[in-house]
Amino acid sequence: MKNLLLLIATILLMACGSDPDAHLLRLNNGEKWKVNEEMTPFIEEGNAILQTYLANGDTDFHALADKLEKQNWQLIKSCTMEGESHDQLHNWLHPHMAMIDELEEAETQEQAKEKIEKLAASFEVYHAHFK
């Protein structure tokens, strides 16, 4: 099922005109890119899910990965952006989704901790590049 969802997500990412490897993530002439109102809540909720997990000292990292994956699925379904801001968002989202997949595949708490730290850093990158 996970592989099917990843395949569908990849198709949707490409169908909306994005090539995540085409450009490196960058700012908009020194400014943050605007993300539309329909998509922003799903990104912020994903960050909140991660922050709550960390604050509560939770240990069920597979449940965390599942929640984050579902949140990203909602994000992808809400995609109505176009143009360079859209492409830049996908340049962030593609590696972010891969990090969630890596977390889901983790077998130990130690492995999961490393993946969770990368996800937290990914949300920091998002906030540094998007508004």
Q: What is the pLDDT of residues 12-39, one digit of tens each?
A: 444 444 444 445 889 999 999 999 998 9
**How many CB atoms lie under 10 A from the CB of residue 94?**
17
| 21 part of a folded domain | no
Burial level of 15, CB count in 10 A (0-12/13-18/19+)? Answer: exposed
Tell me the C-alpha distance between 120 and 124, whole Å: 7
Residue range 31-76, pLDDT digits in tens: 999 999 989 999 999 999 999 999 999 999 999 999 999 999 998 8
| 12 part of a folded domain | no
pTM of the model: 0.79
Residue range(s) defining the domain that contains residue 95? 34-129
Tokens of 38: 């329909």
| 69 part of a folded domain | yes
| 54 part of a folded domain | yes
| 4 part of a folded domain | no
| 79 part of a folded domain | yes
**How many CB atoms lie under 10 A from the CB of residue 116?**
22
Q: Give the amino acid at 2.
A: K
| 49 part of a folded domain | yes
**How many structural domains comprise the chain?**
1
